[in-house]
Amino acid sequence: MFDRFSDNAKKIMSATRQEAIRLRHDYIAPEHMLLAILQQPCTARDLLVAQGMDLDTLREALLSVLDQTGGTKASTGQLPFTPEGKRVLEGSLAEASRLGHSYIGSQHLVLGLLHVPDSLPAQVLTRLGVDLEQLRAAVQGTIPLAERSRTRLLLISNSTMHGGAYLEHCGNEIRDCLGPRKRVMFVPYALHDHDGYTERARNAFVALGHELFSVHERNHSPRALDDADAVFIGGGNTFRLLAALYHYGLLSAIQARVLAGMPYVGSSAGTNVATLSIRTTNDMPIVQPPSFTALQLVPFQINPHYLDPDPNSRHMGETREERIRQFHEEHGTPVLGLREGCMLRVEGERMALRGSTAARLFRRGMAAEEFTPPCEMSFLLQPDPA
């Protein structure tokens, strides 16, 4: 198990032992792990801060309890894990597996702490307002580039072009992306009429030479992915789509399969949920998902159906560009505006812009840039491109 630990996780485990020794304990327990996380620069600590946690307050709350039960024994030898400590490690492994991660990082360790609700760290974290599901959703944003090396994605701005049939303008790209993979699982949740939407998608994919079934026809079960060679998520309302993915436990299941190499095709809302979050969707929040965190298949934001300002318009409302600038007042993540007819093809660490229209890239503090297909945009897949 420890051979799967990241470098930071290994450092945390070393610091965990030192915390136990400092407190004169002859064992390693969950509280030692949390104290180590708080002193070690790592993803887990950043996640706690992002959840609104004051680290000094957390450390003081933890130590105030430990001082009342302070140890009297000192040991410099091998320290055994308590049963709770072992359960934390098991929970960390389970969280990494559930997320489809091949490594165990500091973020999995902090989730493992919350896996043991009767432990001191879990009680303190819960009392200070840390929620397991929110933290779990945030962890999905920590996928390193190496973990995305097998992804095969086609992210389409729109499903229908004026004058054409459903998916007609991107049919060749879909066929090329899927290759010989014939059975496609469709996710219809962005629209209310699941049966009607599935029939429309099925007809389009049959015309392309592929079979299609909908996950709602399989009782919304994540196990439906076992019968599929690829997944397609269509457009509609992004908030409704993401809420359903969370509700049925499909978000992490789809993410794990796509990171393992299953081709993913998304259009409109399906493209939105492939990114870090749905914060740059155009849709109204008609329902409230538990989090805006999405599939995290690419490390940037997309604004599908991007519209340029009309210089002749008398409408005085905000333009799409102004709304993206407002996003950048709060976040540093790049936003790629995909005009209708535009799409992205991702193959591991390579990404190309395809289609018939140009894309507009927005980065905080920089002038917007235009990219005309076909062109390489692999630089956006690198960590912290902003």
Residues acting as catalytic residues: 268, 283, 305
Phi first, then psi, for residue 359 (nearest 5°) are: -115, 155
Look-up of token digits 């004058």: 163
Query: How distant, in Å, are the alpha carbons of 99, 257, 356 from that of 295?
Result: 10, 11, 26
Residue pair 335/324 in contact by the 8 Å Cβ criterion: yes
End-to-end CA distance of the chain: 35
Contacts of 49 (CB under 8 A, 6+ apart): 55
**Among the residues of the chain, which ranges form H helices?**
7-22, 30-39, 43-50, 55-68, 83-98, 106-114, 120-127, 132-139, 171-178, 194-207, 238-247, 250-259, 269-272, 320-330
Distance CA 102, CA 144 (A): 11
CA 382 to chain centre: 16
Distance CA 156, CA 170 (A): 8
Three-class secondary structure of residue 133 per DSSP: helix
Distance CA 386, CA 380 (A): 9
Distance CA 336, CA 352 (A): 13
